Amino acid sequence: MLFFKAVLKHKTVIAIAAVSVLIIVYAIKIGVAAFERSSKETLSIILYHSVNEDEDQHGEYSVSPKELEEDLKYLKENGYTCITSKELIDYVYSSADFPQKAVMLTFDDGCLDNMTYVYPLLEKYDMKAVFSIVGEFCDREESKKNRDDSSYLNWAEVKKLYQSGKVDIACHSNSLHTLNNRMGAMINADESYTDYRSVFLSDTNNFLRSAKDKAQIVPSIYTYPYGLICEESKNLIKTCGFKISLGCEERVNRLSREESSLWCLGRFNRQSGVSTEDFMKKVF
């Protein structure tokens, strides 16, 4: 009898131990999942270029002010918060909380119409955006007498937009926004790393100098011309002091507290002729 009692007691101990182990494993799994959720945020970035009333121009890289306004209305009504480089840097470098339902609006090339049509809409809907500026496009505007719809922002306008607090400024290269001598800011096939390094650093530093001297801006974002990225550029961008880089691959970004999660972020190109609802289904 004593023997059976001992066996029963032994089995009970084993059962309790097994259940305890299962509870602990389950608790660890829940803990890990919660940690993963809290440490991996998602960010969708929308890419616009020109915004104007000329229907003949509307297409892949140009939308109407009405289309942009519909997008902003949608984001506002659905509780999205527009973020710029500040929130991304605070999240990764200062362990700040990441805004819920974050979205980043980006406008490439620094078209003059961004001031005419985009800025007033940002004010109207109390939203922010990132304008990616090409240094030499701004320089050319300084000497232009007649400016029209195809013009770009000059440095004084860039400065004014930045000082409004609604617009963050990104470097879109100084003179590499072309496909003539190389593919954007990429290394050429027959080019040594040393030669490429010197071209890239000189171009980027030219931009940084102009941005600082003419607009008192030190940008944190490098936006690759045409979204063309090469491995060799990645460290050089870091060397120049940038903390974020933007490409054009269409995907939702997964952010962690790692510095590396801010490199080569994907963006969704907003073209004309697609309804806001259909476009946003793809973005979020």
Instruction: Write down the least CB distance from residue 109 to Zn ion, Å.
Output: 5
Task: Tell me if 135 sits within 8 A of 175, measured CB to CB.
Answer: yes
Phi, psi of 259 (to 5 degrees): -55, -35
- Looking at the DSSP bridge assignments, the partners of residue 102 are 81
Minimum CB distance to Zn ion smaller for 108 or for 113: 108
Minimum CB distance to Zn ion smaller for 256 or for 271: 271
Instruction: Write down the least CB distance from residue 273 to Zn ion, Å.
Output: 20
Report the interface residues with Zn ion, using CB under 5 A: 108-109
Minimum CB distance to Zn ion smaller for 109 or for 136: 109
Contacts 24+ apart (CB under 8 A), 196-201: 196/232, 197/232, 197/236, 200/176, 200/232, 200/233, 200/236, 201/236, 201/239, 201/240
Going from the C-alpha of 62 to that of each of 88, 257, 267, the distances in angstroms are: 27, 35, 16
Minimum CB distance to Zn ion smaller for 152 or for 155: 152
Minimum CB distance to Zn ion smaller for 41 or for 108: 108
Instruction: Write down the least CB distance from residue 117 to Zn ion, Å.
Output: 18
In 10 A of CB 96, how many CB atoms? 13
Minimum CB distance to Zn ion smaller for 106 or for 261: 106
**Spatial separation of the C-alpha atoms in residues 235 and 231, rounded to whole Å:** 8
Instruction: Write down the least CB distance from residue 103 to Zn ion, Å.
Output: 20
**Spatial separation of the C-alpha atoms in residues 165 and 151, rounded to whole Å:** 23
Instruction: Write down the least CB distance from residue 83 to Zn ion, Å.
Output: 21
**Spatial separation of the C-alpha atoms in residues 154 and 111, rounded to whole Å:** 9
Instruction: Write down the least CB distance from residue 147 to Zn ion, Å.
Output: 19
